[in-house]
Structure 1
Amino acid sequence: MATVTVEINGRPYAVGCADGQEERVRILARQFDGHVKSVAGDVGHVGDLRLFLMAALLLADELHEARLALQTGTDAPAVSTATPPSSDTGVAEALNAVAARLEKLTQSL
């Protein structure tokens, strides 16, 4: 088993992976880091755990849309570039925005 050090939101993390998968883990980490930085830019620094959760929910939303598109044979809808509002209650508003987006998706099923 190999270990790769990736940087997410400016912090290093050691990640175990199968031998030969190191570059793939680096690529996926860069993709995730981009989502985390995007969320951080929208809501400010609210702690890595919350940033990671919000970024993971956005990625899960994208994956869900892609799977629906495969099942229905349609083109995947463009990923929304709308960002949650930033304010004193930015974290709550951002989580509410993600929750609303997920609720909208489940209603379309």
Structure 2
Amino acid sequence: MALVNATIAGRQFRLACEDGQEEHLTALAKDIDTRIIDLRRKFGEIGDTRLTVMAALMVADDLSESHRRIRRLEEEIQALQDARMVSSDRARAASDAVVGAFNSAAERIEGITKKLNQTLGPGAAIG
């Protein structure tokens, strides 16, 4: 377990985190401190508790907006995947239709060739 010293709202805090997460925790603490400093500039000295609550609400709002964006993106991804499946099915059907048309044409050509060979008689053959 690692320890990090962080300053938030002018106060020092010793915070514990998982090993390797020190930089991340320091950045999070700096973000909260910056929000509190900005709020203090906007509203003046309205009390550390109020400033901290307001900063927490700002973070919660950011998190809520991020969740909404993630849901929208997941819905878009699902719609794209559905469209891809429909498109793939259509392409497969079109490919099957083309193969069927070629096979049908080949059978007709073979039939015409047989008839021509029959009318030409023995010794003269086409194809």
TM-score of the superposed pair, with normalisation by structure 1: 0.62
Structure 1 runs not aligned, ≥5 long: 75-109
Structure 2 runs not aligned, ≥5 long: 75-127
SS at match of 1:12: strand
User: 1:67 Cα deviation (Å)?
Assistant: 0.9
Q: Find the counterpart in structure 2 of residue 20 from structure 1.
A: 20
User: 1:46 Cα deviation (Å)?
Assistant: 2.0
Question: Matched residues in 1 for 2:35 and 2:16: separation?
Answer: 21
What do you get for the CA RMSD once the two structures are aligned? 1.5
What's the CA shift string for 1:58-108, capped at 9, x where partnerless?
11101101110111129xxxxxxxxxxxxxxxxxxxxxxxxxxxxxxxxxx
Q: Find the counterpart in structure 2 of residue 60 from structure 1.
A: 60
Structure 2 letter corresponding to 1:53: V
Displacement over 2 Å in runs of 4+: none
Q: Find the counterpart in structure 2 of residue 86 from structure 1.
A: none
Higher helix share: 2
Q: How many percent of aligned residue pairs carry the same amino acid?
A: 38
Q: Find the counterpart in structure 2 of residue 33 from structure 1.
A: 33
Question: Matched residues in 1 for 2:40 and 2:27: separation?
Answer: 20
Q: Find the counterpart in structure 1 of residue 78 from structure 2.
A: none
Bigger-Rg structure (1/2)? 2
The within-5 A match list for 1:1-109 is 1-73=1-73
Structure 2 letter corresponding to 1:19: D
